[in-house]
Amino acid sequence: MNRNTIFAVLAILGAVSTSAARADEASDKVAVAKQIGSAKITLQQGLAAGEAQGHAISGKFEMDEGKFQLSVYTANGAALQEVIVDYTTGKIAKAEPLSEAEDVAAGKKQVAVMAKATTTLKDAVDKAEKQTPGFRAVSVEPKSKANHAVAVVTLVKGAQFKSVSEPLE
């Protein structure tokens, strides 16, 4: 095989894998929208429950291996954890250190953004929900935008998703 053929094959494989990842993400969003009604607690309550293990740095309702769950990332010093909160009782079901490189990298970025924050993720989610009547928060993640800390809150109403950015400083 010549060099151009190899690059063409790699480009096609990359496009196929990106398309498959987007399809999985879209499928997961649809599943979360369908399952969110079964959650007896709010994202904010999940964040508060996660605080028992450290400072909440993000949270989301998600599908993990086909199972609906509420995941909260926490930081306690340099220790990063994923806390699974039972979405029907609000109690911690499981807490374990982040181990996958991608999760650790995301957690470190979130810690850096939250270091600038003067308000909590819970307060940002409360504000986002007040500004979008009828919508329910399903995720919150701190991001740096124009050198400022913001919380990107994803909300759902039926099958409609909306993202709102709320200042954290």
Strands, E assignment, 18-128: 55-64, 67-76, 79-85, 92-97
pLDDT computed for residue 21 by the predictor = 40
pLDDT computed for residue 26 by the predictor = 73
pLDDT computed for residue 91 by the predictor = 97
Give the residues of the chain that fall short of pLDDT 50.
7-11, 13-23
Q: What is the pLDDT of residues 73-98, one digit of tens each?
A: 999 999 999 999 999 999 999 999 99
pLDDT computed for residue 9 by the predictor = 45
Which residues does residue 155 pair with via DSSP β-bridges, in sequence order?
137, 162
pLDDT computed for residue 135 by the predictor = 98
The whole-angstrom separation of Cα 2 and Cα 8 is 10
Domain boundaries, the chain: 33-167
pLDDT computed for residue 23 by the predictor = 45
User: 3-class SS at 17?
Assistant: helix
pLDDT computed for residue 25 by the predictor = 59
pLDDT computed for residue 119 by the predictor = 96
